[in-house]
Amino acid sequence: MEKRIAEITRKTMETNISVKLNLDGSGAAKLDYPIGFMAHMLNAFTRHGLFDMELQATGDLEVDQHHLVEDTGITLGQSFARALGEKRGIHRQGSCLFPMDEALARAVIDISGRSFFVFEGRLSGIPLVSGTASFQTDTIEDFWQAFTSAAGISLHLDILRGRSDHHKIEAMFKAVSLAMRDAVAIERRASDTIPSTKGTLI
């Protein structure tokens, strides 16, 4: 099977992000990311999806975290789209219910070539604080919207219950990761077929 690897660099006046992604990896992450909480989430995403990812990022954090988090979603989504190519042989759909203690996340994905995003995150909007560092939780919806659009997928992402925003967000990342892992997997019975009656997913 041809290696499903992509390298994407996005450089703007606000951010500079490079991603190398292997869809058929072992869950290894090499991250140089200046927002600790997002680095934690991206590591969990990589590990649970069994993707290999190298990511380096800088951004205008003196403004706020929005630009960097959103552009990370764009770059990661573009990496998936490029690595998948014409999407021949993939399962195409994936779903996951992921519990994180009291929080329960649901992610349902269709790698359709068409972008559509539904989000019911039930987040408080209150930043997560650790020592002198904090994370703007309202950027999470922006991240997934950007990821969905750049990857060309449909994503329905919901928190069904939960109290802790940390747990809710982590459950989201793990649920999407496992759903993507299923969706990008190769169906051996149709490994040379594009899973669409139209004959294309682009």
Report the candidate in 115, 119, 122, 179 with the shortest Cα–Cα distance to residue 147: 115
pLDDT digits (tens, 9 = 90+) for 33-82: 999 999 999 999 999 999 999 999 999 999 999 999 999 999 999 999 99
Q: Which domains does the chain have, with CATH numbers?
A: 5-190 (3.30.230.40)
Confidence category of residue 89, pLDDT binned at 50, 70, 90 = confident
- Better-scored residue on pLDDT, 2 or 164: 164
Residue whose token pair is 């329960």: 104
* 189/119 Cα distance (integer angstroms): 33
Q: How far is CA 188 from CA 158, 180, 185, 191, in A?
A: 31, 17, 9, 5
pLDDT at 22: 98
pLDDT at 126: 94
Under DSSP, is residue 154 helix (H, G, I), strand (E, B) or coil? strand
pLDDT digits (tens, 9 = 90+) for 141-192: 999 999 999 999 999 999 999 999 999 999 999 999 999 999 999 988 877 7
pLDDT digits (tens, 9 = 90+) for 118-138: 999 999 999 999 888 899 999
The rounded radius of gyration (Å) of the Cα atoms in the chain is 16
Strand partners, 68: none
What pTM was computed for the model? 0.95
Q: With 80 as the cut, is the pLDDT of residue 196 above it?
A: no
Contact status, residue 75 vs residue 10, Cβ threshold 8 Å? yes
pLDDT at 1: 67
**Could you tell me which residues come within 8 angstroms of residue 86 by beta carbon, excluding any fewer than 6 positions away?**
194, 200, 201, 202
Contact status, residue 53 vs residue 42, Cβ threshold 8 Å? yes
